[in-house]
Amino acid sequence: MLRSTCAPTVPLYNLGPSAASLRERIVRGLRQPLKELPPCLMYDARGARISETLCRSTDYDFDRVERTFLRRHGAEIGRCVPARSLLVEYGSGPCRTTQVLLRHLPPPAAYLPVDWSMAQLKRGVRRLSQRAPDLTVIPVRADFTARFALPMPQRRHARTMVYLAAATLAALEPSQAIAVLRGIARLCGRRGGVLVGIDLNRDAARLERAFNDRSGLAKALNLNALSHANRRFAGNFQRRRFLHYAFYNEALRRIELHLLSQVDQVVAIGGSRIRVRKGEGIRTACAYQHSLRDVQRFADAAGLQVEQSWLDEDGPFAMLLLKARDRF
């Protein structure tokens, strides 16, 4: 286990994939018939700053919708979470939404933010250390779609609760969502549970507007994947040869982010060379529009059941408290 320091008193556990394995994943994705890059490439230090600015823009309202929901229903949700719980969040990002949730929860034994991005974790830890200095924070860099062992706090905890924000759930394709929830069921056991946010606004125009925002921040974040690959893996991507393209795929009910090649070209990364044709796209990220029924189906397949639900029709937005079934 590698440990690095992201704040003077907060150790950061680095359980994420090695640079070599990430490079192999990048090359493997670029060699597929439908080329792709892992979304984590967007979120180096520069990408983390762009992302946080994007989340404050008028076109991109997903995080604001969830924070508004938590302000309205946080007290009810907090009554369902036992004191001294260990709170784990997958896909924590910079912890802006978590701040609102924490205000309504009984004091947790510790908070474990888990994210792909070291930069996002560091920003989140800095934010929480300023606003909740008494909170024990144990940040973990890891791919939460794969199996990994969470570090446990020294302080005893009553049970484990996991928080999946709506944006995190949206980033998971159905099979991934089931696998992640199945892992959470194992982590939490019968005593714990998982809070899942679900953005139920199915307006495709809203999604396309958010990821083609007028400020160009989504474009900058998408293209940052190429800059990050160049710096970290000796790539030779030329940003000016690619166009940002985001569209709603009606058949798969998801927004897709692509980088379209404007010319025939050969890109190199990690000693590998890959041909990219003019007009060919490299998919960088997807955001699914999972329905309430979808999430209930994912939960059932993972051995979980709905214990409590909250619905805000103004959003529209929902949050479910899932717990393991007795036979799990």
Q: Where are the domains of the chain?
A: 62-202+291-324
The pLDDT value recorded for residue 316 is 92
The pLDDT value recorded for residue 36 is 97
Domain 62-202+291-324 CATH class label: alpha beta
The pLDDT value recorded for residue 3 is 41
Place of tokens 């025939």: 264
Strand partners, 244: 259
The pLDDT value recorded for residue 86 is 95
Q: What is the distance between the alpha carbons of residues 92 and 101, in angstroms, rounded to a whole number?
A: 12
The pLDDT value recorded for residue 5 is 40
Place of tokens 């069921």: 185
Sequential DSSP letters for 54-122: HHTSSS--HHHHHHHHHHHHHHHHHTTS-TTPEEEEET-TT-HHHHHHHHHSPPPSEEEEEES-HHHHH
The pLDDT value recorded for residue 58 is 86
Kind and range of the H or E run holding 258: strand 254-261
For residues 218 and 52, is the Cβ–Cβ distance under 8 A?
Answer: no
Structure tokens at 128: 């929480």
In one-letter notation, the amino acid at residue 243 is L
Residue ranges of the chain with per-residue pLDDT less than 70 = 1-10, 326-328
Would you say the pTM of this structure is higher than 0.85? yes
For 228-254, letters b (16+ CB in 10 Å) and e give bbbebbebebeeebbbbbbebeeeeeb
Sequential DSSP letters for 148-186: -PPPPPSS--S-EEEEE-HHHHHTS-HHHHHHHHHHHHH
Handedness of CA 149, 155, 157, 161 (dihedral sign): negative
Q: What is the distance between the alpha carbons of residues 307 and 278, in angstroms, rounded to a whole number?
A: 51
Residue 327: partners with Cβ closer than 8 Å, 6 or more residues away: 303
pLDDT digits (tens, 9 = 90+) for 89-146: 999 988 999 999 999 999 999 999 999 998 999 999 988 988 888 999 999 999 999 8
The pLDDT value recorded for residue 1 is 36
The pLDDT value recorded for residue 202 is 82
The pLDDT value recorded for residue 131 is 87
